[in-house]
Structure 1
Amino acid sequence: MSQARRFVALHCARWDVDANVADDARVITTELASNAHEHSGSPDFTVLMVVAAALHGTVVHIEVTDRGRWPEAFVVPAPDGLCERGRGWRVVEGYAAACGVAHTRDRGTRAWAQVRVHLPRRGAPRLPLPADGG
């Protein structure tokens, strides 16, 4: 997880992303990566992060893709305070402008989230290569 957090911090700094937004992106990445590790049965995962235009403005789009299949259907439990599962996803929902989970064609799972961001006007940021986690 620490490698994924460093990856996000590095690219947020390169793109001049506000420190508060960068913190939100690190929290989201930690939760997405933790879910991939816990639920997929896969020993590793990939983090992809890009800046994109979305319906709700410019966003940092974060994806964590694993090579396993989560054993149960993805359902977030009701927020009753007693449930031990689903709290991490509620954190993601709290920080993200949009988020979701989908299965990939190659039997993996992709969890993603978008964080609204305002970038300085100095040209488009360079898009990074995915970072391998695990």
Structure 2
Amino acid sequence: NVVLHSGSPNVALLITFDGVALTVEVTDNGRWPESDAGTPALAQRASFGRGLELVRACTSRCTVLPTIAGTRVTTRIPVT
């Protein structure tokens, strides 16, 4: 997803496990594109553009930090 949506040729992935949960961090130096899906009804029918919503639904925490230098998405996935 980061390759498709960020426009960044550089992507870093860091996965750590603390005995309770996995933390997954994806960092790139791209920019968030303006949505071209149009109206909310069209966006709901789009075959793309819901990746972070799916991540949020499957994790206990998901943060997105867009900056001038790029974007970092960090998620925490409990392991039982």
TM-score, length basis structure 2: 0.70
The amino acid that maps onto 1:86 is: G
Q: 2:15 aligns with which of 49, 52, 56?
A: 49
Which protein has the bigger strand share?
Answer: 2
Letter paired with 2:13: V
For the aligned residue pairs, the C-alpha RMSD in angstroms reads 2.8
Q: Which runs of 5+ in 2 are unaligned?
A: none
Scaled by the length of structure 1, the TM-score of the pair is 0.46
Q: Give 1:117 deviation, angstroms.
A: 1.4
Provide the aligned length of Structure 1 versus Structure 2. Answer: 75
Select 1:114's aligned residue among 73, 76, 79.
76
Percent sequence identity over aligned pairs: 35
Residue identity matched to 1:71 = P
For structure 1, the 5+ residue unaligned runs are 1-33, 119-134
Equivalent position of 1:22 in the other structure: none
Q: Distance in 2 between matches of 1:48 and 1:97?
A: 17
Q: Which has the higher helix share?
A: 1
- 4+ long deviations beyond 6 Å: 78-81
Q: Structure 1 residue 87 and structure 2 residue 53: aligned?
A: no
Superposed CA offset, 1:79-125 (max 9, x none): 998342432222212211110210246x110112110014xxxxxxx
